């Protein structure tokens, strides 16, 4: 009887440890999906426009430098600017230039929780849209 009690106790401890790991992994996975979507949005709304502005500014400065070098070399730039210099004119919008040449940025990617991962989990235990907060995961929230 004591042997069976110890076996049941060990099995219950193992079940609790595995369930705790499952809930923690669920929370980690869900937070990774949310973070990926956040950074995807940031990439398209913040980083890409900044990079395009930086490239446009670099193009403008390059045009000015080339123009000054040509003037310094004795060329008359005002009357007969080379066509490539006109292509990079000062107020040219890089996005418009890319569109004219048929280049497009890929659309934002929306990452989703793979609900198939919850197939063998009892209903209403874990959700693909919310973190699991219970006795098993409470400590992990305190560690954040």
Of 110, 111, 119, 112, give the one whose Cα is nearest residue 22.
Answer: 119
> Structure pTM?
0.68
The pLDDT tens digits of the residues spanning 74-116 come to 766 555 556 656 665 555 677 777 777 888 888 889 999 998 8
**Annotated domain spans of the chain:** 2-104
Q: Which helix (H) or strand (E) covers residue 11, if one does?
A: helix 2-42
* Contacts for 63 with CB less than 8 Å, ≥ 6 apart: 85, 88, 89, 90
Q: pLDDT band for position 70 (50/70/90)?
A: confident
The answer to whether 131 and 27 have CB atoms below 8 angstroms apart is yes
């Amino acid at each position: 009887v004591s042997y069976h009690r110890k076996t049941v106790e060990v099995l219950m401890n193992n079940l609790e440890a595995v369930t705790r790991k499952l809930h923690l992994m669920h929370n980690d996975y869900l937070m990774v999906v949310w973070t990926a979507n956040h950074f995807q949005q940031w990439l398209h709304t913040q980083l890409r426009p900044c990079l395009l502005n930086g490239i446009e500014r670099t193009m403008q400065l390059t045009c000015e430098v080339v123009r000054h070098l040509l003037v310094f070399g004795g060329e008359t730039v005002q009357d007969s600017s080379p066509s490539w210099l006109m292509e990079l004119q000062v107020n040219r919008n890089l996005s418009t230039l890319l569109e004219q040449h048929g280049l497009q940025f890929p659309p934002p990617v929306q990452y989703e929780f793979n609900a198939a991962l919850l197939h063998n989990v009892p209903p209403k235990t874990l959700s693909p849209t919310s973190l699991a907060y219970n006795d098993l995961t409470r400590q992990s929230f305190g560690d954040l």
